[in-house]
Each structure stands twice: as structure tokens, then as C-alpha cells.
Structure 1
């Protein structure tokens, strides 16, 4: 995948609710078969807690090969095994990195004011890219996802706090992947917290939104703003 695909990364944006210039940027990455508008409401839910944050939910670079209704993918899924997740996430990482660089530059911000939030395949990209940024983002949140290449975490940064939220009844990405991700991150020296939510399948509910909002509010405390 060429970095020229970065021109395809665009999606709905929310300006800071305060009306002031953005002091933080929250990038929300959707799951397989969805698109940016599918998750931008997370930003709306968090605007009250983060009034100076800008939000963007980019569409993934590729349309689904069999989908006529606009669904998109960060990378193709055929085998749906750990090796495919690792290789796919690695391939698209430069595309997402370029988009993040452009968005931060546009807002005159740096990675200390950046948070990445992802759902399912978007969570894979959050971990793949966020843990390998040259400068650590303020926060990483993964909902209903997994950590690509969990056994190959050489060269990651260890300063970004990570929140993992997963439904115990998830029948798409089993919740043991969340536990494996936390263990791998802990072994690599990354600060992480895990919440397994009872009665929840492959989705984000109000509990998850509240956890995410509180996590971002803490990460973007006075000592992390520009």
C-alpha cells in the first residue's frame, strides 16, 4: 500500500465545542465494514469533558471488495488470523501516520496533544500506529480489538497510557484477545488498564463511552495540554 493512499483519509470532523483553537486532537478509527460517520458520535459524547478538543473520524483507505453500501476496511481480511492482522496493520501504518502528521500540523499541535481511539479493526490500528509514533501520544484507547504482533513489540514507546475496553460476550473478537493485549503491553513496560464489560458483545455501550471520556480527560490534564 502506497503512502499516496493518505489522500483518501478524510472523514467527519468536530471543531472544539469551546469555540477556541484546538488544544487537543482525538482521532477515532472505525471498525471493519464501517466508516467515519459511524463513530464520530463518540466525539460528540466527549465534547462536554473535552471542550478544547478537535475530533476527526477518518474513513479507512479501502472499500470492502464485496460491499456496495460504502463500508470500508483498514486492511483486507481473508484468513482472520494473527499473522494477517500483524501484516495488514504494518502495511497501512504509514498511511495513518501521514494523516496524523497532517492533522496535527493543520492544528499546530504535536503528539503530546494527540489521542487515538479505535474500535475493532480500528483498535488494531490504534495500537499498531500509536505505540510506534516517534513521540508518544497522550492516550490510546482500544475498544473490542486486539494487539497486532503482540509478541513483537520491540521499538515501541512506553509512555502512552492505554485503555482497553472489551465486552465479555464479544463473539467477533473474543475477550481473551483483550487480556492477551494487556499482558503483552505490561511485559513491554506500557501502562495499560483493562475493563471487561459483562453482558456486552462486539460494540461500545454507555459504560465504555464513560470509561473512555474519563480516560481522555485525565490524559489531557493541565500538564499535557499545549
Structure 2
């Protein structure tokens, strides 16, 4: 049996399908955090929710923050930890495809906050790996801001933001949407009244996005 580098939760569908979504939680959370979001997505699919590799208080984190640009609202991923997590997620996706018999052409990626930042970078590094990507309340890391790889053209990407988000301002998420659009992705951007969390309206919109592109 293939070993998967990252700890994870695997929820199997009721039907025999290779369709799957990989889930990346936010800073300080864990692999259980976004299961209610993933399980609200339409259709039958495997849900594989990864746990970030490093402990942070009562949860886990994908990387440390570089605050040298002026605090949390201008933070960037620490390069070393970010690179490690990107590689761990990519390796874990490949291993999960083999272990669970997934259809490599039917893989989605859903992330929140740090998980969204990681998701945006992953699709720019490996655009052919994912059929669609949904990133909630994240931004486009500077390390990946100028990438426009082959395979990103027309890739469906959903970017959600919170108008009252004081951790990752909506302007940063909107800039991520514009950067991904300029790279060639087919981007859906929506901003919501709430703060740093996925509300019911945002959940309904991402479900509609997935149904349209699944």
C-alpha cells in the first residue's frame, strides 16, 4: 500500500467513482476543519483533507510567516517552509491517487487562508494536476506571482474574499484573482460581507462553481 506523506482524513463516496477533492486547511486549524465545506460540494467524490506538517498551538500550520514587509496584512510565506509544504502536498496528492484509485483527470483542490495560498501556488506549478481550484480568503505568494505556465490557460479557479476580513484583506484576494486571470486561468472572483471565514453565501457559490466545472 502506498504511503501518503501527510496525515489526512479520507471520506469515501457512496458510489464507485474516482472523482476527488483535496482539501488544505488554514493556519492553526487541522484536517477536520474544512470537511463540512467539502462535503457540501455537489456530486459524489472522495474527500481527502490533509493536515499541515507543523504544530501551531492547538492546530497546525503549513509554514511560518515572513512579516518583514510590515505585519500580518503584508505577510508572505517563509520560503523554506512554503517550499517544503508545496512539495509535501504534491507528493501526497500523487500517493493518494495511487492508494485510493482516483481518476487523475478528476481532481479538485480546495483551500482556505494558508491552504488557499498554497493551492494557488500549486496550480501554477502543476496546472495539469487539478481540474479546478477553489481558494478562499488567500493571496498569491510573491514567489509565484509572475508565473504563467503551460496548462493554466482556461483552468477554472474560484477566489472568495471577505470584505471585512482583517487577516487577509479582500484587496489581496482580488489581486490574486487578477494575477491568476493574467496568467490565463478562468477565474471567478466573489467578495462577501463577512470576515475571515466561509459563510453560507460563499459556500453556495463555490458549490455552484464546482457543479459547473466538475
| TM-score, with length taken from structure 2 | 0.87
Q: Is the 8 A contact 2:64 2:78 kept in 1?
A: no
1:134 positional shift: 5.9
CA RMSD of aligned residues (A): 2.1
Q: Which of 26, 32, 35 in structure 1 is aligned with 2:30?
A: 35
- In structure 1, C-alpha distance between the alignment counterparts of 2:192 and 2:127, rounded to whole Å: 33
- Unaligned 5+ segments in structure 2 are none
State how 1:48-197 maps to structure 2 within 5 Å: 49-50=42-43, 52-64=44-56, 67=57, 69=58, 71-79=59-67, 81=69, 84-85=76-77, 87=79, 88-133=81-126, 135-149=128-142, 150-155=144-149, 157-158=151-152, 159-197=154-192
Q: Is the 8 A contact 2:20 2:45 kept in 1?
A: yes
- Unaligned 5+ segments in structure 1 are 1-5, 221-226
Higher strand share: 2
- In structure 1, C-alpha distance between the alignment counterparts of 2:155 and 2:127, rounded to whole Å: 12
- In structure 1, C-alpha distance between the alignment counterparts of 2:66 and 2:184, rounded to whole Å: 32
Deviation per residue, 1:9-58 (Å, 9 max, x gap): 12222111xx2223311111100000011111112222xx21x2010211
Aligned residues: 205
Q: Is the 8 A contact 2:27 2:114 kept in 1?
A: yes
| TM-score, with length taken from structure 1 | 0.83
